[in-house]
Amino acid sequence: MADQANCIFCKIVAGTIPSYKLYEDAMTLAFLDINPGNPGHALVIPKAHAANLYASADKDLAAVMATVRKVAAAVEKTVSPDGLNLLQANGPGAAQSVFHFHMHILPRRNGDELKMNWGLKPGDKGELAALAVKIRANL
């Protein structure tokens, strides 16, 4: 509960911190990112606190994705981007900065030079096959 008490997104849900709210239903909230990568950059969160994807309940993840689709369609209609990324980060190594599960809806413009594209480099097929076996064993 201590993490939840200090969570900026939980405070936004509670209404104690203002936001540029876009959409809200019983399980989710969508609002504009105050540090946008591009105009229309929005966040969708579950109202229930969970630090990351691994701690999230399936029902909350499903609700978030339904809201992501609805808000992404409205963002696309409003700002007419050249493309759109959905981004979700887990842990410091992935640059997660707020430890409350959230999805970014990030409109993209050709040439915007936002740095999250890692380039294409084919993997070793043998290594990929071996790794797939190991991951399946943990499902």
Q: CB count, 10 Å around CB of 66?
A: 14
Q: Is the pLDDT of residue 1 over 60?
A: no
CA angle, 90 then 91 then 96, to 5° = 75
Instruction: Determine the average pLDDT of the residues in 114-138.
Output: 81
| pLDDT one-digit tens code per residue, 17-48 | 999 999 999 999 999 999 999 999 999 999 99
**Active-site entry in 41, 49, 100, 102:** 102
Domains located in the chain, CATH noted: 2-137 (3.30.428.10)
The answer to whether 102 touches 9, Cβ cutoff 8 Å, is yes
**What average pLDDT score do residues 91-119 get?**
90
Position 118 scores a pLDDT of 64
Tell me, yes or no, if 49 is annotated catalytic: no
